[in-house]
Amino acid sequence: MTAQQQRCRLAAFDFDHTIVAQNTDTVVRDLLPNEVTGPSARALNELVENWTLYMAEIFRLLHEQQVTEARIRDTIRCIPEVPGFVRLLKRLKRLNFHLIIISDSNSVFIDEWLKAHHLTDCFKAIFTNPAEFDEKGQLHVRPYHQQTECKLSASNLCKGRVLEHFVIEQDLRHNIRYDQVFYVGDGHNDICPVLRQRACDFACARQGFAMEKHLVKNRNKFKLRAQLLVWKSGFDLLEQLNALPQLHWLNECEDAIGLRKAAEDARRASAATVVPVKGANIEPEQ
């Protein structure tokens, strides 16, 4: 007997300058005590076109300069959110969205930040460059994959391919079909995934950043099918999402659940209230 198909909504997020207000790689790179000179500087200049290899060398230099694992983790935890994004993510989770991250950061940075902000359980999957600290405290990073087909993406991560494969896998393996897919990003490498979206989906681009500028300037050239939402903050994006007719019934369901919970809490509070009788030693049950 075939299991009944589950229908829901998917929100896919970039990480740097989307969920967090800065670029995690450059924030950690700035922990280098002094400007790098000599052979190391030349090596970095040669690697800068391949960002993952460049950051691997940065991590080696940080270890060489005795920048500890604890300091790197502390630095990541202290990066501020883009205003309103913690609230946005928790709201979408309550509305039974499936949430994923597709990012060119790395697994250590993303896991550390999410853990610090109590968001780990919000995400169904995270697609990023694998990373780990070795026993000596040096951070190592590897490319998520290698690709040459997509010219809009870096060689180590085509976000469009990742998003497409995830949606197909959910359908074929888990019998989950997404009625709408929301992709939220800011950068040039966030254009590829939205060009693979359907007309019923939403491309959510941060105002003033590369993704929005390129999509607006080249909309006819790109032949974007998804509906474009331009956002300034998590608060702004949440307000726009709440206003979508497609989500009205979800908001109404949550409001109804909230009202029922409030009524139940009030009933329990009323039942627990005991009016003392004069002369009696009565205490509420604990």
Residue ranges for the known binding site for Mg(2+) are: 14, 16, 186
Picking from 40, 32, 33, 19, the residue whose alpha carbon sits closest to that of residue 100 is 19
Our answer to whether residue 16 is catalytic in this structure is yes
- 137/9 Cα distance (integer angstroms): 40
Out of 14, 121, 179, 255, the active site residue is 14
Give me the residues paired with residue 177 across strands: 7
Lookup: tokens for 124:
């169904």
- 278/9 Cα distance (integer angstroms): 58
Out of 16, 134, 190, 236, the active site residue is 16
C-alpha dihedral sign at 273, 274, 275, 276: negative
Q: How far is CA 209 from CA 26, 187, 230, 233, in A?
A: 17, 6, 10, 12
Our answer to whether residue 14 is catalytic in this structure is yes
- 97/178 Cα distance (integer angstroms): 10
* Residue stretches of the annotated binding site: 14, 16, 25, 104, 186
- 105/112 Cα distance (integer angstroms): 12
Under a CB-based contact definition with an 8 Å cutoff, are residues 110 and 128 in contact? yes
Active site residues: 14, 16
